Amino acid sequence: MRKYIKPLVAETFDEIVKDNANQIFEVYLKPLKGYKVKRYLVKAAVRTEWGRRYLFLYTYNVYGDRIISGWYGDCQTFQIDINANRNLKVSRLYSNIGYFHTSKEEAYESAINLLRSKKMELNKEILKLQKDLYCVE
C-alpha cells in the first residue's frame, strides 16, 4: 500500500524555490474569475528564458508522483513570469490564470472578500430596482 506524503507549508515562494530538490509544498490558486480555491502540491524552480525570469511550479499528486496530463504525457506545470525587480519573498504571486498563495487562510480570505464585494454590488442593484419600482410620481 502506498503512503501519502506530508507536504510542507512555506511562508514565501523563496522558501519553495530554495528547497526544490527534496520537498513538496502546498500552494493555493485563486482564479481571476471565480471563487473556488484549488490546492496544488508543487516543487518549484526559477529559470531564465529569452531574457526573462520565470517561476515554474511542477505539480505532484498525494503520493509524491509527478502529475502527467495530456495525450503526449506532458507534465502539468504552471509558469509565472517574474519581473526583474521583483523578488520571491512574497506570499502571493500574480499569474495570468489567477493568484498563487502559500497560505490557505490568505487564499480563502481573498476569495471571501471577492464574494463580499460582489454581494454589495448586488445589494445596490436590488435597492435601486426597489426604489424604481415603488417610486410614485
Is 32 in a helix, a strand, or coil? coil
Residues ≥6 apart with Cβ < 8 Å to 63: 2, 3, 4, 5
Decide: pTM greater than 0.85: no
Domains in the chain: boundaries? 13-134
Q: What is the pLDDT of residues 85-117, one digit of tens each?
A: 577 777 888 888 888 898 889 889 989 998 999
Contact present, 106 and 90 (Cβ < 8 Å): no
Q: What is the pLDDT of residues 10-45, one digit of tens each?
A: 888 888 888 766 788 899 998 888 888 988 998 888
Can you tell me the distance from the alpha carbon of 118 to that of 120, in angstroms, rounded to the nearest whole number? 5
| Per-residue cell: 107 | 487564499
Q: Which of 40, 52, 36 is nearest to 16 (CA)?
A: 40
